[in-house]
Amino acid sequence: METVASAPVVDSRELRNVFGKFATGVTVVTCRTPDGTPHGATVNAFTAVSLDPPLAQVTLIRGNKASRYLEDAPFAINIMAEDQLDVCLNFAGKPMKGTPRWRSDEGIPVLEGNAATLECRPWRIYDGGDHVIVIGEVIAMELNDADPLLFASGKFRQLGGYCDGTPWEASGDALAFGWFEGSTSFKSF
């Protein structure tokens, strides 16, 4: 009888440190509670999913109040500007002096001063272990001239200078711009 090798034990603190080496932006996901009160949670697990249809993903800790509110309600992904650290910390549980500034009292609650904002309606929700993966269909967006707040290795950061090299408009293997566009035969290396 063949035995199945058991999976190695992964230390969760070490895994968190490894995940932290991937620099991310910082978002505050906002929605309304069942009684209509604006609510938010600081989230750095944000991903662009699709341009057609327009989809964005956030991943929230299971049991987080916001993860329960997003099941059937529209929400906003507020991409934090580098001068919004106090707002970010407020929605991470460290109250700021004063209160966050909201764009308006109507519709999806959106914070003021963001680097960018995506307003979404729920599209799909998936099990993500100790997290909930929420995909929203983008229904409105706003882009501002502000640098984003960043997070890496457990610390907040500001955007630095550009690296050497040439920027490009699309990936080298993208269908419309790729290395193989228009090719009908390929030469061996």
pLDDT over 60 at 185, yes or no? no
pLDDT over 60 at 181, yes or no? no
Task: Give, in degrees to the nearest 5, the angle at Cα 64 between 117 and 109.
Answer: 30
What was the pLDDT predicted at 142? 97
What was the pLDDT predicted at 15? 86
Q: Output 30 or 10, whichever has higher pLDDT.
A: 30
Q: Output 164 or 182, whichever has higher pLDDT.
A: 164
Across the range 91-97, mean pLDDT stands at 92
What was the pLDDT predicted at 16? 82
Using 50, 70 and 90 to split pLDDT, how confident is the model at 70? confident
pLDDT over 60 at 121, yes or no? yes
What was the pLDDT predicted at 1? 57
Two tokens at 5? 């090798």
Percent of the chain's residues with pLDDT above 70: 84
Secondary structure of the chain as H, E, C letters = CCCCCCCCCCCHHHHHHHHHCCCEECEEEEEECCCCCEEEEEECCEEEEEECCEEEEEEEECCCHHHHHCCCCCEEEEECECCCHHHHHHCCCCCCCCCCCECCCCCCCCECCCCEEEEEEEEEEEEECCEEEEEEEEEEEEECCCCEEEEECCEEEECCCCCCCCCCCCCCCCCCCCCCCCCCCCCCC
What was the pLDDT predicted at 118? 97
Percent of the chain's residues with pLDDT above 90: 53
Cα–Cα dist 182/180, whole Å: 6
Burial 95-133 (b: 16+ CB within 10 A, else e): eeeeebeebeeeebbbbeebbbbbbbebbeeeebeebbb
Least confidently predicted of 31-45, 57-71, 74-88, 141-155: 57-71
Across the range 75-80, mean pLDDT stands at 96
pLDDT over 60 at 177, yes or no? no
Instruction: Kindly list the structural domains of the chain, giving each domain's residue range(s) and its CATH number in brackets, ordered by start.
Output: 12-158 (2.30.110.10)
